[in-house]
């Protein structure tokens, strides 16, 4: 099996290498690809060194699976070209997510939407992945009517330049600014670009992607995205209103039974999820589980995951494992 990563030199590309080193995915040949300026760079995977090529060169090498983490413009141009050559493209950008004929996949929830004909498969937004994974079995059991989510998102979700801005500010260095304001010692209620309705593109993704993945266009979703001075993961305060009544014991049971979810919830011992301890882990952590007494069938959750892991690299590799084992 010939695997390609397009965008190997970015934050997600580097994390993909880490996840693949841990994965059992069979790889006979590996093709690292990036922009022209990174051509020739040496990349190590599973003890072997490979030379970085351009997307055009990678496409001509006809990989079986290509994971794209190079942004929407690159995906728009190159994903169809790879697909035309029979390659399964797993795209981390937002380019293809809302196309009706492109599966938007969290493998634990809807891997069944992938077939031999779906050559382009979309990886959801990082904040969407962790939320829908935590909610998937709860929705099947009780029917979600409405979600109100506020996110506390790591600067690593913006990219390596944002991490550098945070570190420069902490070290008193006047460097490149990715955000319109300082991020250290601050919170920015601004993720993505503002839309005409006052929401941002990051907030819009949470609405549309949640409905598509859960196959529930009727769910009402209200989102507020906040960028915080953290490098290790995204956190979310999630308020859910169910159609049906529930027992809190059933919530714990369903969450514990959800693959990829780890319940960390013991307030008496100060046990709850935190991005500091989610960093570098593949799981999604859920805690602060409590009934919302202000509405009928209301529930509050605190959901944390490493956005570069389950929010991007891990989810993409899990899709590749599914494709390699079930579809190819």
Q: Using 50, 70 and 90 to split pLDDT, how confident is the model at 328?
A: confident
What is the set of domains in the chain, with CATH numbers? 2-124+312-327 (3.40.50.720), 127-307 (3.30.360.10)
Q: Quick one: tokens of 47?
A: 């003890």
Residue 315 has a pLDDT of 98
Instruction: Based on the residue annotation, tell me whether 139 is a catalytic residue of this protein.
Output: no
**Mean pLDDT, rounded, for 29-40:** 97
Q: Using 50, 70 and 90 to split pLDDT, how confident is the model at 193?
A: very high
Global pTM exceeds 0.95: yes
Q: Quick one: tokens of 216?
A: 């529930």
H-run or E-run covering 316: helix 314-322
Q: What is the pLDDT of residues 271-313, one digit of tens each?
A: 999 999 999 999 999 999 999 999 999 999 999 999 999 999 9
Residue 262 has a pLDDT of 98
Residue 59 has a pLDDT of 98
Would you put residue 138 in left (φ > 0), alpha (ψ -120 to 50) or beta? alpha
305: Cβ contacts below 8 Å, ≥ 6 apart: 126, 129, 130, 233, 234, 278, 281, 283, 284, 285, 311
Q: Which of 59, 87, 139, 234 is catalytic?
A: 234
Q: Which of 126, 139, 187, 190 is catalytic?
A: 126
Instruction: Based on the residue annotation, tell me whether 126 is a catalytic residue of this protein.
Output: yes
pLDDT at 232 over 90: no
Percent of the chain at pLDDT > 70 equals 100
For the chain, the average pLDDT equals 97
Q: What is the pLDDT of residues 35-74, one digit of tens each?
A: 999 999 999 999 999 999 999 999 999 999 999 999 999 9
Q: What is the pLDDT of residues 73-91, one digit of tens each?
A: 999 999 999 999 999 999 9
Q: What is the pLDDT of residues 116-142, one digit of tens each?
A: 999 999 999 999 999 999 999 999 999
């Amino acid at each position: 099996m010939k695997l390609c990563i397009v965008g190997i030199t970015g934050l997600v590309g580097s994390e993909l290498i880490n996840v693949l080193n841990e994965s059992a995915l069979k790889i006979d040949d590996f093709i690292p690809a990036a922009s022209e300026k990174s051509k020739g760079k040496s990349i190590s995977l599973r003890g072997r060194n490979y030379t970085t090529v351009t997307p055009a060169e990678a496409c001509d090498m006809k990989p079986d699976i290509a994971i794209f983490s190079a942004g929407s413009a690159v995906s728009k141009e190159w994903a169809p070209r790879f697909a035309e050559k029979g390659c399964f493209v797993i795209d981390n950008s937002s380019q293809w997510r809302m196309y009706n004929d492109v599966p938007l996949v969290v493998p634990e929830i809807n891997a069944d939407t992938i077939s031999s004909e779906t050559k382009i498969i979309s990886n959801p937004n990082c904040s969407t992945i962790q939320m829908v994974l935590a909610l998937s079995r709860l929705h099947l059991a009780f029917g979600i009517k409405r979600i109100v989510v506020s996110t506390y998102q790591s600067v690593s979700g913006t990219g390596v330049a944002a991490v550098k801005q945070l570190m420069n500010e902490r070290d008193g260095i006047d460097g490149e600014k990715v955000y319109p304001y300082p991020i250290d010692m601050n919170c920015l209620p601004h993720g993505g670009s503002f839309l005409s309705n006052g929401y941002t593109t990051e907030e819009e993704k949470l609405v549309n992607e949640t409905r598509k993945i859960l196959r529930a266009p009727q769910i009402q979703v209200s989102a507020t995205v906040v960028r915080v001075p953290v490098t290790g993961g995204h956190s979310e305060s999630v308020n859910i209103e169910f159609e049906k009544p529930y027992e809190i014991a059933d919530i714990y049971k369903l969450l514990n039974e959800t693959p990829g979810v780890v319940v960390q919830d013991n307030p008496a011992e100060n046990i709850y999820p935190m991005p500091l301890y989610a960093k570098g882990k593949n799981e999604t952590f859920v805690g602060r589980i409590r009934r919302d007494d202000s509405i009928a069938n209301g529930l509050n959750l605190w959901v944390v995951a490493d956005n570069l892991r389950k929010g991007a690299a891990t989810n993409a590799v899990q899709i590749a494992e599914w494709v390699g084992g079930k579809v190819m």
